Amino acid sequence: MFPKWFDDWNAKNPTNVFGPAILVGTVGGALFVAAMVASWGSPFYDETTQTGPRGTGMHVVSFVGTEPDPTIADYYTEPPYEAEPGEPLAGEVYENLQVLGEVSEGNFLRLMTAITLWVAPEEGCIYCHVEGPDGEINHASDANYTKVVSRRMIQMTQYINDEWYAHVNANQEVGVNCYSCHRGQPVPSEIWFRIDPVVESMEGWAGVQNRATVQSQFTSLPSDALYRYLYEDNRITVHDLESRVAGVPSDPDVPTWQDTERTYSLMNYFANSLGVNCVFCHNSRAFYDPAQYTPQWATASLAILMVQEMNNIFLEPLGPVYPPERLGPVYADAPKAACKTCHKGYYKPMQGLNMIADWPELAESDI
């Protein structure tokens, strides 16, 4: 078929065609997959939450491959009991019962069982109550600091469900209970303490940044944002969009670059806490225009005020109750809460599970 000279040359100079063929096949296959994804859509996500106008990139994608919240599987719940005729109230049966006294005895014990499983499943009842030398438990004693703290936490949970209904039930009835933060641990994850300054050799602004900490989400952003905005009531703001504006940085009413970086630190914390990006709350065309914020911005604004009250009214005042090992490393302050303490990386804590449906005792204030 071919001339003899060509057959002789080809026999003396063999060519490996497999390598190029494999390369061409791999590139062709990748281009085919890319074309299918572009035309039919990615098979690795199934839900998009639109948070703003189409075409502005304002959406949050929920991926099929995202693992569901693993703590949901361990959540214990039980419907309320119907009180028997003449059944005594818990306050009539137990001594030194300063909360939940108006709950029937059966439902009180049901709730105590749940709190034990939510907070201290390994330690059991004696995590809060005193065990005597004979093995009997003294339920009335306040000798264990954990009981005093738990009582206040029950009041805080009731307060949140009652006074901050607009936040915890913003989209649907969800509410909170002890498991919302504890998830089977005596000390909830994602608590925080005040740690600034983080650079001991410097004072002022330079002392709170450029060191990776949990509070800064391991960035060089300021590490005092949680304290300034979720404990103190400072204005969350950024510098003026115009150049050469009137005012000097020493004026507390003039936003500065330092305010801006602290705000970025807080916003970065929000994003990591909820597993979202900036456009979950802000319009990508105008981050600075309140008229174009999304509904989630209002929910988040309520959360800031709610967390400030939690930290100031309930958590920080417990400092004298805690033993030294439970206090902060710098200021010996009480552990405080923030967004991630409850959300754990999901914009719907417990992925939207109704935490109060079976626990009406925790939905009405007992303060």
Three-class SS state of 49:
strand
Q: What is the pLDDT of residues 131-181, one digit of tens each?
A: 988 888 999 999 999 999 999 999 999 999 999 999 999 888 999 999 999
* Burial profile 290-328: b = 16 or more Cβ within 10 angstroms, e = fewer: eebbbebbebbebbbebbeebbeebbeebeeebeeebbb
CA atoms within 13 A on the CB side of 270: 23
Q: What is the pLDDT of residues 53-89, one digit of tens each?
A: 666 667 666 544 456 788 999 999 999 999 888 899 9
**Backbone φ and ψ of 49, nearest 5°:** -95, 110
Provide the pLDDT confidence category of residue 206 given band limits of 50, 70 and 90: confident
Average confidence score pLDDT of the chain: 87
Three-class SS state of 330:
coil
pLDDT given at position 103:
95
Mean pLDDT of the 347-362 span: 93
pLDDT given at position 203:
74
Residue % of the chain over a pLDDT of 70:
88
Q: Could you tell me which of 165, 147, 92, 87 has the C-alpha nearest to residue 362?
A: 165
Mean pLDDT of the 8-28 span: 71
Provide the pLDDT confidence category of residue 246 given band limits of 50, 70 and 90: confident
pLDDT given at position 291:
83
Q: Distance from CA of residue 300 to its chain's centroid?
A: 12
pLDDT given at position 65:
46
Using a CB cutoff of 8 Å and minimum separation of 24, what contacts does 101-106 make?
A: 102/366, 103/361, 106/81
pLDDT tops 70 at residue 250: yes
Mean pLDDT of the 193-215 span: 86
pLDDT tops 80 at residue 9: no
pTM of the model: 0.82
Q: What is the pLDDT of residues 91-133, one digit of tens each?
A: 999 999 999 999 999 999 999 999 999 999 999 999 999 998 8
Q: Which domains does the chain have, with CATH numbers?
A: 61-172+356-367 (1.10.468.10), 190-343 (1.10.468.10)
Q: What is the pLDDT of residues 299-319, one digit of tens each?
A: 999 999 999 999 999 999 999
pLDDT given at position 254:
84
Provide the pLDDT confidence category of residue 366 given band limits of 50, 70 and 90: low
